[in-house]
Homo-oligomer: A and B are copies of this chain.
Amino acid sequence: MEISLNNAIESITHQLQLWRRDFHQYAESGWFEFRTATRVADELARLGYQLQLGKDVIKAEDRMGLPTPEQFAEQEKRAIEQGALTEWLPHFSGGFTGIVATLDTGKPGPTLAFRVDMDALDLNEDLTAQHRPHAEGFASCNSHMMHACGHDGHTAIGLGLAHILKQFQSQLTGRIKLIFQPAEEGTRGAKSMATAGVVDDVDFFVAIHIGTGVPKGELVCGSKSFLATTKFDVTFHGKAAHSGARPEEGKNALVAAAQATLGLYAIPRHSEGSSRINVGVLNAGIGRNVIADHALMKVETRGETNEINEFMYQKALNVIEGAAKMQDVDFKINLMGAAQSSHPSPEWVDFIMGLAQNKIPELASVIKDKPQAAGSEDATYFMERTKAQGGQATYMIFGTELSAGHHNERFDFDEDVMPVAVKTLATIALSLPEFGGKTHE
């Protein structure tokens, strides 16, 4: 099996690069992955996977940080012009760009799921000679959209894995689900797929990422560095008035936002673990000589545990309501994103570590976890849901060399990581019977 898997991996290595560069060139931000999703769906359908698409795998009301209808219309038009496959587009229209592809081996066995994400960042890509994507002609052609986090690679890995698994179907048991998620940036998409139930039948779950500071040749098998987070917009609506002529008639939304800002940063530290609060953006007012009648704040809380994040969020709600009351202005809170803390299942992580150490010689270093700068990741929704149903879950990071940090306009990665990732994930699927873990029923 080892030999033929190596051969199979080798035979798709070039295709992995083609896919990745195609997705990179037509980078699409969260909920706008129309071209990407239609091409992924088409490829998976050709391979013979059963597909569930759009509203079947995304609960509409749990999507967060949605664009406006006008933006959707514009972006679907753009996607069509850039080669989105129109026979698939209706499934994804209006911000339902999720795909679940299932391979049912027909043989008894547990259900195993792999999750990748497909969205780009709201960023303009660097267009100078030293940036490889530009030099080699695959830099993003979409303004303010760039794959600066590696999700293009994740999507390519997902497709490569689909090919390999299909090829080795006879050696597999149970069912395998490949989850292609939209809108991970801003942690906006996973919750809606999790609450749609896509992992409710899953016994073993794996989410992946590349890079994030892990060096080439190293594999993290159970990352728990993620903070739970809630991301929300706050709007205050007051009443405008001429600041010289009738200051007393105004209801000052800008002052409410200033008070709220200071109140939010004053939410106490938590003795049980890390917490975070940020008001990243504040826009208020219409003119120098007018009492500001509106204000918008983009806020996020984080916590080392879901409980700490919830503590921060509940305190934030008090602060905002109180600040509005102080200035007698109205307020509205729009949830824009959310993620949970990550707690990989220890046995599952140990099993994967063993496989990786024994069967993937390309990996020079296989470790359980690596302390990371504290960020957030909404694959945690799938992890928690899988575990809540009795399954086991983990988050893996495949090391690779980066040309610049994530979310930087010069981000690029060493594409050698892709075949290694496909091989490792395929090996997990092929070796699953060796793991005596608990399954559903």
Chain A interface residues (CB < 8 Å from chain B): 186, 227, 229, 231, 242-248, 250, 252, 254-255, 257-263, 265-266, 268-272, 274-292, 295, 298-300, 302, 311, 315, 318-319, 321-328, 336, 373-376
A245–B374 contact, CB under 8 A? Answer: yes
* Candidates B248, B284, B311, B336; contact of A281 at CB < 8 Å: B284
Q: What are 20 A-B pairs with beta-carbon distances under 8 A?
A: A186-B288, A231-B289, A246-B271, A248-B268, A254-B281, A255-B263, A255-B279, A259-B322, A263-B326, A265-B266, A269-B274, A271-B274, A271-B374, A278-B290, A280-B286, A281-B292, A289-B300, A322-B323, A322-B326, A323-B326
B282–A278 contact, CB under 8 A? Answer: no
A262–B258 contact, CB under 8 A? Answer: yes
Residues of chain B within 8 A of A257, CB atoms compared? 258, 282
**Smallest Cβ distance from A244 to chain B, in angstroms?**
5
**Smallest Cβ distance from A427 to chain B, in angstroms?**
32
**Known: A287-B281, A288-B278. Is A259-B268 also a contact (CB below 8 A)?**
no
Identity of the chain B residue whose Cβ is nearest the Cβ of A250 in the assembled complex: B268
B248–A271 contact, CB under 8 A? Answer: yes
**Known: A325-B325, A373-B245, A375-B242. Is A269-B275 also a contact (CB below 8 A)?**
yes
**Smallest Cβ distance from A294 to chain B, in angstroms?**
11
In terms of DSSP, what is the predominant structure of the interface of chain A?
mixed
B258–A278 contact, CB under 8 A? Answer: no
**Known: A323-B322, A323-B326. Is A375-B287 also a contact (CB below 8 A)?**
no
Residues of chain B within 8 A of A315, CB atoms compared? 328
B292–A287 contact, CB under 8 A? Answer: no
B327–A322 contact, CB under 8 A? Answer: yes
B322–A271 contact, CB under 8 A? Answer: no
Complex Cα spacing A242 to B246, Å: 27
B322–A318 contact, CB under 8 A? Answer: no
**Smallest Cβ distance from A336 to chain B, in angstroms?**
7
* Known A243-B300, A326-B326; further 5 A-B contacts with Cβ < 8 A: A243-B280, A254-B280, A262-B265, A279-B292, A282-B292
**Smallest Cβ distance from A168 to chain B, in angstroms?**
39
Complex Cα spacing A328 to B319, Å: 8
Residues of chain B within 8 A of A324, CB atoms compared? 322
Residues of chain B within 8 A of A274, CB atoms compared? 269, 271, 274
**Smallest Cβ distance from A46 to chain B, in angstroms?**
38
Of A266, A284, A323, A375, the most chain B CB neighbours within 10 A belong to A266
**Smallest Cβ distance from A250 to chain B, in angstroms?**
6
A289–B282 contact, CB under 8 A? Answer: no
Residues of chain B within 8 A of A376, CB atoms compared? 244
**Known: A244-B373, A291-B268. Is A319-B326 also a contact (CB below 8 A)?**
yes
